[in-house]
């Protein structure tokens, strides 16, 4: 689970990345899930988009893909969403640490 400081950090990183995952008018297929899973393993953070012709809202698509790929939804704005999943083997992104109380 991400805290607000980590989410803000990831949102900043996502500004510079391209949208690589597109959800169209069909269902969220195994191909989309495999593409998302592979990209999350390699990059840890991905940006996706839901087309207007899709039967999913961007929030629904993001949550469904995140659940199936064991990822966190960082942000959903309009038709775009950002997903994050930490890679324990080859970490790419170092998140800010949570403050100890």
What is the average per-residue pLDDT within 90-97? Answer: 89
- Look at residue 101 in the predicted model and tell me its pLDDT: 54
Kindly report, residue by residue over 15-61, the tens digit of the pLDDT: 999 999 999 988 899 999 999 999 999 999 999 999 999 999 999 99
- Cα distance between residue 29 and residue 34, in whole Å: 9
State the SS3 of 59-90: HHHHHHHHHHHCCEEEEEECCEEEEECCCCCC
The answer to whether 64 and 38 have CB atoms below 8 angstroms apart is no
Pick from 25, 49, 26: nearest CA to 36: 49
- What SS3 state is found at 86? coil
- Look at residue 96 in the predicted model and tell me its pLDDT: 87
């Amino acid at each position: 689970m991400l805290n607000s400081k980590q989410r803000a950090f990831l949102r900043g990183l996502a500004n510079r990345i391209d949208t690589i995952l597109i959800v169209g008018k069909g269902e969220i297929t195994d191909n989309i899930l495999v593409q998302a899973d592979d990209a999350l393993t390699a990059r840890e953070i991905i940006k996706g988009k839901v087309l207007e012709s899709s039967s999913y809202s961007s929030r629904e698509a993001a949550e469904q893909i995140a659940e199936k790929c064991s990822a966190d939804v960082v942000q959903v704005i309009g038709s775009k969403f950002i997903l994050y999943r930490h890679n324990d083997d080859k970490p790419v992104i170092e998140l800010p640490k949570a403050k100890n109380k």
